[in-house]
A and B are shown apart, each in its own frame.
Chain A
Amino acid sequence: DSGVTQTPKHLITATGQRVTLRCSPRSGDLSVYWYQQSLDQGLQFLIQYYNGEERAKGNILERFSAQQFPDLHSELNLSSLELGDSALYFCASSVSGDTEAFFGQGTRLTVV
């Protein structure tokens, strides 16, 4: 167990819908990262927060947004879902940007 908790584990939804993925980082970790992993693909960096502030953005679609709350948990919101958004979404946390990142178990999103 990495100490990073992601919910839900699985999510099946229809095209056009909106979903929220939740991540609770390890105790003491201030950095939270979100990644998208499509089938047999790499880890695409979406966005990163540090202590409540957005610090870095990757190739995140405008339909996607995220935030980190005062208690440091983070949510990734995906709207107007398309079939191509089906993927495994990982959250990771670390103490700072240049230390080990601990990954959650991921949320598998299936858009039908």
Chain B
Amino acid sequence: GENVEQHPSTLSVQEGDSAVIKCTYSDSASNYFPWYKQELGKRPQLIIDIRSNVGEKKDQRIAVTLNKTAKHFSLHITETQPEDSAVYFCAASKPPGTYKYIFGTGTRLKVLA
């Protein structure tokens, strides 16, 4: 069945450093890979997403890369700030017809000032 593995489970970085979170998916039919940020006590919110026809996407300090062959995708946050501290979830989804929206187990990122 579908599965998304996410690493690491916790990550501490110094302010200004970069953070990288990695996910691996099992279903090669997956074509949509979003990343969500969940701040304490709040709902998850989309921060960036990528589709399978694109290898990389960037939005200011955030970037996502996708390796379809290896079924890996990663979130990169540069110049981290204290407000980046949150739990980050990756997800993988498939085209219409199956609709399962599976999340990774989450990464708790702490940015130390």
Show the binding face of A for B, using Cβ within 8 Å. 2, 31, 33, 35, 41-43, 45, 48, 50, 55-56, 58, 90, 92, 94, 96-101, 103-106
In the complex formed, the residue of A with least CB distance to B6 is A42
Return the contact of A100 from the options B42, B49, B97 (Cβ within 8 A).
B49
What is the CA–CA distance of A103 and B41 in the complex, to the nearest angstrom?
13
17 contacts between A and B (CB under 8 A): A33-B101, A41-B106, A42-B104, A43-B89, A45-B103, A48-B101, A55-B100, A96-B96, A97-B93, A97-B96, A97-B97, A97-B99, A97-B101, A98-B32, A99-B32, A101-B101, A103-B44
Contact A42 B32 (CB under 8 A): no
Show the binding face of B for A, using Cβ within 8 Å. 31-32, 34, 42-46, 49, 51, 89, 91, 93-106
The 8 closest A-B pairs by CB, nearest first: A97-B99, A98-B32, A103-B43, A56-B100, A43-B103, A42-B105, A55-B99, A42-B106
Contact A45 B96 (CB under 8 A): no
Shortest beta-carbon distance from A37 to chain B in Å? 9
Shortest beta-carbon distance from A90 to chain B in Å? 7
What is the CA–CA distance of A31 and B89 in the complex, to the nearest angstrom?
20
In the complex formed, the residue of B with least CB distance to A91 is B43
What is the CA–CA distance of A79 and B44 in the complex, to the nearest angstrom?
26
In the complex formed, the residue of A with least CB distance to B52 is A98
What is the CA–CA distance of A96 and B51 in the complex, to the nearest angstrom?
14
Shortest beta-carbon distance from A54 to chain B in Å? 10
- What residues of chain B lie closer than 8 Å to A103, measured between beta carbons? 43-45
In the complex formed, the residue of A with least CB distance to B34 is A100
Return the contact of B100 from the options A2, A43, A45, A92 (Cβ within 8 A).
A45
